[in-house]
Amino acid sequence: MLLAATLLPVNRTLGVVLAVLLVAAVAVTALARLADHRERGYARAVALAGLRAAVQLAVVSALIGWVVHRAASLAGFVLLMFAVASWTAGRRITDNRSWVWAALPIAAGVGPVVAVLLLTGLVPFQGLALIPVAGILIGGGMTATVLAGRRALDELRTRRGEVEAGLALGLLERDARLEVARPAASDALLPGLDQTRTVGLVTLPGAFVGMLLGGASPVQAGAVQLFVLVALLAVQSVAVAVVLELIARGRLHRDAARRRPFIRSRTLGEAEGE
C-alpha cells in the first residue's frame, strides 16, 4: 500500500496533471483534425471520454466495497460490464439495429474462459478476484469485436465489386464475403499479439505492475500477467471469428434498408404495379 501511494498519490497535484493531459489530448486532436470517415471530429469524444472515465471510476470506487461481498450484486455488476461492452462495440460498428449482434462475439469469447476459471478454482467467485479478471477479458473481447467489425465492413464496402465477382463465379454470398473480409478482420488480433510478444521487453502491463504494488513476488506477478495475456488471446480469437461469421452471414451490417424489408418490398410491388 505504501509503495502504491508513493508511486501515484491521490492529491491535488494528480488532479491538475490529469486535467492538463486531457486538455492536451483534446487540443492535439482538434489541431490535427482527427475525425472518423464521416468527418466527425474526435476532440469532443476525447473530452467526454475523459470526463466519463472520471465519473464512472469514482462511482465504481465507491460501490466496489459493497458489491464484492454480495454474490447477487457481484453477478449483476459483471452482467452490467458485459452489457455496456456489447452496446459500445455494437454502436461503434453500425448505427442500425443489427448492433445487438455484437453481444454474441463478446459472450462467445469471454463466457467459456470465465467458466473454466471458476470451475477449476483458479479464480474464486469473489469480487476482488472476479471483477478485475472479468473486466479485463470483457474489455479485450470488446476491443477485438470493434476492430474486426469495423475493418471487415469497411473492406466489404470498399471491395464490393470483388464480392459481386465471387457471386458471379458461383460462390455463396457468405463465402464471397468471407474471402474479402477475413484478412481485414484478422488484423484485430495484432494489438494483442504484439502486446504478448513484447511483454517484459517493451512494456510491463497493468496486471504485472498491480501485483508488484500489491506485494506479490516478481514470479507471481509474471505468472498472473502470462495468464491474462493468454486468456486475452483466446477471448479475442473467438470474438474475431464470431464477428467475421456474423458479418459474412449478413447479421451484422450497415445496410439501413434491411431494417425496413416490408417497406422496401411494398415499394417494389407498387413500382411493378405501376
Q: Output the tens digit of pLDDT for each of the chain's 274 residues.
A: 444 445 566 778 888 888 999 999 999 999 998 887 677 788 888 999 999 888 988 887 777 767 766 777 788 888 999 999 999 999 999 989 999 999 999 999 999 999 998 898 888 777 677 888 899 999 999 999 999 999 999 999 999 898 899 889 888 989 999 999 999 999 999 998 888 888 877 766 666 666 666 666 777 777 878 888 899 999 999 999 999 999 999 999 988 645 444 333 333 344 444 3
pTM (2 decimals)? 0.78
CA angle 118–243–196, rounded 5-degree value: 60
**Cβ-based neighbours of 124, under 8 Å, separated by 6 or more:** 118, 130
What are φ and ψ of residue 199, in 5° steps? -60, 135
**Cβ-based neighbours of 111, under 8 Å, separated by 6 or more:** none
